Amino acid sequence: MLEPKSFEDQALKFVGREIYETFFRGYTRKQWGYEPSQLPSSILKRLPIRFNYDDNYYSSSYQGIPKNGYTYIIEKMLDHPNITVHLSTTFTRDLAKKYEHVFYSGPIDAWFSHCAGRLGYRTLDFETIEEDGDFQGNAVINYCDEDVPWTRISEHKHFTPWEQHDKTIVYREYSRFCEVEDIPYYPIRLMDDKELLNKYVMMAKKEKNITFVGRLGTYRYLDMHITIAEALEVADKYIKSVSDGTTMPTFCVNPLS
């Protein structure tokens, strides 16, 4: 079989038609709003396929979340005399001129005011449910059937089994196309999007003193541990560029690959 181009091709290669149609096809249509045959294979390539009883999502040796939560980590990171946080502030190209270097993690097309057109994104709506006791017994359950309107339910107390809570809060997630006023979550990255993305990448490479990072800045659907690892790599490259007196690249990855 040739190298899979679409999500559907990749799924059929990985697991065959029966499992694909049972678990992947309906969920993918809900999550992305497109037929799996229209989506790139990269969306599925990031998922591990195993033929054993290992039920971990990742194959990483060490997995988990911070004991005190992510909010605590961010608070500690920002608690530095050289860091100033501006809330409710839209960062524009004009503001960038005031800084020695900018690391931009917003949508790349928004940086250029969508002058060549809008790239496609998905956003999420959340329904909050408060209950006594245990709601579903797991941190996350995905719903593959298309007749179920939500894609998954998260019960957050199961992420921290070392804590004990009599009550519980769960969130149902609903995926839909991202409109102008919505927060973009996932780059869709259809085959046609690459042509438009290429235009923005060419514009970005002409910018000075800015590096595009993250899911939105590079228009790639990445797992968060990969996103964080790339951010740390970018930071190391910037520190080295300052030390060497060289120019920091606009992209530290190739978003067109």
Q: What is the pLDDT of residue 189?
A: 86
Q: What is the pLDDT of residue 169?
A: 96
Averaged pLDDT score across all residues of the chain: 91
User: Cα(1)–Cα(41) distance, rounded to whole angstroms?
Assistant: 14
Query: How confident is the model over 127-143, as a mean pLDDT?
Result: 95
Q: What is the pLDDT of residue 62?
A: 80
Give residue-wise pLDDT tens across range 142-174: 999 999 999 999 999 998 888 899 999 999 999
Q: In the β-sheet with 152-155, what is the strand arrangement from edge to edge?
A: 140-142, 152-155, 167-177, 121-132, 186-187
User: Cα(160)–Cα(146) distance, rounded to whole angstroms?
Assistant: 30
Higher pLDDT, 204 or 223: 204
Residue the block writes with tokens 């089994």:
161
Q: What is the pLDDT of residue 133?
A: 94
For the record, the structure tokens of 100 come out as: 């020695």
Q: Are 216 and 106 in contact (CB under 8 A)?
A: yes
**pLDDT category, 237, cuts 50, 70, 90?**
very high
Residue 116 has pLDDT above 90, yes or no: yes
Give residue-wise pLDDT tens across range 40-57: 888 888 777 788 888 777
Which residues are designated catalytic? 46, 50, 122, 152, 173, 221, 223
Higher pLDDT, 90 or 185: 185
Residue 1 has pLDDT above 70, yes or no: no
SS3 content of the chain, % helix, strand, coil (to 5): 35, 15, 50
Residue 240 has pLDDT above 60, yes or no: yes
Query: How confident is the model over 79-100, as a mean pLDDT?
Result: 90
Candidates 105, 102, 112, 100; CA nearest to 213 is 105
Query: How confident is the model over 186-210, as a mean pLDDT?
Result: 91
Give the rounded distance of the alpha carbon of 124 from its chain centre: 12
CA-CA-CA-CA torsion for 151, 66, 75, 169, nearest 10 degrees? 40
Residue spans in the chain of domains classed CATH 3.40.50.720: 69-117+186-244
Homologous superfamily in CATH for domain 69-117+186-244:
NAD(P)-binding Rossmann-like Domain (3.40.50.720)
Q: What is the pLDDT of residue 191?
A: 72
Q: What is the pLDDT of residue 252?
A: 85
